[in-house]
A and B are shown apart, each in its own frame.
Chain A
Amino acid sequence: MSEPQRQTRTIKIDTIARVEGEGALRVTVKNGLVDDVELRIFEPPRFFEAFLQGRHYEELPDIVARICGICPVAYQMSAVHAVESIFGVQVTGALRDLRRLLYCGEWVESHALHVYMLQAPDFLGYESGIAMAKDHAHVVTRGLRIKKAGNALMALLGGRSVHPVSVRVGGFSRAPTRRELNGLTDELLWARDAAVETVRWVAGFHFPDLDPGYTCVALQPRDEYPFNHGLLASSDGLKIPGDEFELHFSETQVAYSTALHCTLHGKRYFVGPLARINLNADRLTPLARAALDGTGVSLPLRNPFHSIIARSVEILFALEESLRLIAQYEPPPAPVEDYQVRPGVGMACTEAPRGILYHRYRVDADGIVREAKIVPPTSQNQGRIEEDLRVFLPHVLDLPDQAAALACERVIRCYDPCISCSTHFLNLEIHREDDAS
């Protein structure tokens, strides 16, 4: 320790920037070793699970979209799938493809925002994407245009990219025409090529060493890259249907955080783009797979800083997949499947940009929601973030306060934690307890 005379050392940074959320980090150091790491999330609770009780199932897509402006489609998809499992609705063919297409739009928009505006500035030494544009105008403009292509896809299918309005149980309120979708093709082709460049660009960054060892969890469909479907698989060999989530995963509350911690068989695990790639690399589209192989990183990806590579590969995948879905699109006979309302309990997992999003609802005979449970990706990754910091902190404890804090923020940003409903306030406190003093 550089200053043994100090019993405790407190590093404060006022705000963790470029994440969606408010957090504080408290680190205790004993005899130069990291003893305790607590990531505290001070998200003002909004009680969605409570006030969904008593609402009608048809209102779910409009209400749950408001949980997150960055990934509303994920919330809508998990909700409608859960309700469809109660009513016994099968959404197939063109309607299923349209849901994949809408999800592609969200991944492109959300990942491009994170790669270009939130995380890349860390690697190139800027405080923001906007500041980065002064020296790298071409790159930032490229990122914004890719993001815009994702937004355009969401706006065409859903009316707008933040809180789309067309998703409903059984399908959509309106299906697009072929002509409307074809109108996006040129821009998506441009974005696909720009995404190839993006993968090449981020692969050239300098990545700090970190290998905390993960249990990765992601959906794993038989023959496609996951959005809405697939078995819930882990790198340790778990393979279960999504509706058995709660038999294996459980949430616990810790005193220092408003976000619950989710564990798999009592252990912390990892979800998100990097976990998805590790479990599904052989299901990527050809260009995306080739781009991944061209980066020189080998599978499985084990360094959280490589998440920016995983995200960039997924942008490319989603654009390639969009073009495929648009090329084969035949408008469905009706925008929505017929179904009968019936009471029951339904569960579903889908892949939000940040990882597994689980919903469960109990609906009565009138279609009124009586019980709701939602497990977002950030609650699943929160324990992992703490573990990463525990491994990472010894490398930065000798740095000056501000530099140590910034290094920790970089680790947290790898997760793109979406702690919506927050005030962006991170205090990093390092308490040193020295037996010698």
Chain B
Amino acid sequence: MPATGPPRAPHERMNRPKLGVFKFASCDGCQLSILNLEDDLLAVSETLDIAYFPEASSDMREGPYDIALVEGSITTPEDLHRIVSVRERAKVLMTIGACATAGGIQALRNWSDVEAFKQAVYPSPQYIQSLSTSTPISEHVRVDFELWGCPIEKTQLMRVLIDLFAGVQPKLPTHSLCLDCKRRGMVCVLVTKGEPCMGPVTRTGCGVICPSLGRDCYGCFGPSEGAPQGEAFPPNTSSLATQFHHGLQLIPAEVLRRFRGINGYVAPFRKESQTWESRIEETTP
């Protein structure tokens, strides 16, 4: 991938690219991943002008920003407007994490009655302003780059920022976690322990942490993309779901829950869970 310009040197203080970090509905975990850069945090702040990052600094400037990092999903009427304003002020808009990229865990509401949710949680639900859905940023504005993970992996974030400011189109691996698990010589938790591991359909990037701790992957990096067929080719979720059902004896409700989790609203996982939902409905008298 050719670079469109030379990387900026850290000492070019006058022209440091401006960074803004914005938060919508989320747990703050991806922003914390930035602060968890620890060894590199001060170097990053020398290289970039952190112009807006309320979680870390009271110094907040309106923009425009060379890059806006957006955490969180859209869940309130007010945030529908705010994301448009962020987009207008950002040259490059990058989502960080499962909420901003896929709607997040709070997208579980998308299959439910939010009015009933309000009544379950609040004594006076009429005071609560909330949309009936939790949706990813890309459903509302143009997104230039999406960084997956719940939470994001901080070394991936660094990689992408370095590429962006070097004028290189960022590119991160999209293949399945399974391949990296094999490369590391891990014992397969699906085959040997019979656990419903989402590794075969989940994007690599976390560092294979669940199988390395002896448990099944639960898909927090979202769907992988098929390597032989190229980018944006969805993973074979139906094959894995069938294996869960016939091989591991999971009942349809369990298969459904497997796909309806942290990244449940993203298309490949959403379609698979809906397939199993209709199966349950067909068999329910």
Contact = CB atoms under 8 A, between A and B. Distances in A.
Contacts of B58: 15, 17-18, 121, 127-128, 409
Interface residues of A, number: 70
A163 B57 contact: no
Given A128-B56, A162-B32, A46 B23 contact: no
Given A18-B57, A253-B127, A140 B42 contact: yes
B164 to A, nearest CB: 20
Nearest to B60: A15
B277 interface: no
A10 B118 CA distance: 32
Contacts of A151: 36, 38
Contacts of B140: none
Contact of B151 (A63, A163, A256): A163
Nearest to B152: A162
A130 B75 contact: no
A105 interface: no
B117 to A, nearest CB: 4
Given A45-B130, A130-B56, A144-B41, A70 B28 contact: yes
B35 interface: yes
Max count, chain B CB within 10 A of own CB: residue among A113, A165, A422: A165
Interface in A218-244: none
B59 A62 contact: no
Contacts of B207: 159-160
Interface residues of B, number: 68
A67 B59 contact: no
A159 B262 CA distance: 17
Interface in B121-165: 121-124, 127-128, 130, 134, 150-151
B214 to A, nearest CB: 4
Contacts, number: 198
A51 interface: yes
B208 to A, nearest CB: 9
B151 A162 contact: yes
Given A160-B206, A420-B27, A420-B28, A130 B218 contact: no
A66 B42 contact: no
Interface in B57-108: 57-60, 72, 75-76, 78-79, 82, 104-106, 108
B186 to A, nearest CB: 12
B116 interface: yes
B220 interface: yes
A252 B148 CA distance: 37
A382 to B, nearest CB: 15
A86 B266 CA distance: 34
Interface string B27-47: 111111101101101100100
A111 interface: no
A165 B26 CA distance: 19
B27 A421 contact: yes
Contacts of A15: 54, 58, 60
Contacts of B54: 15-18, 424
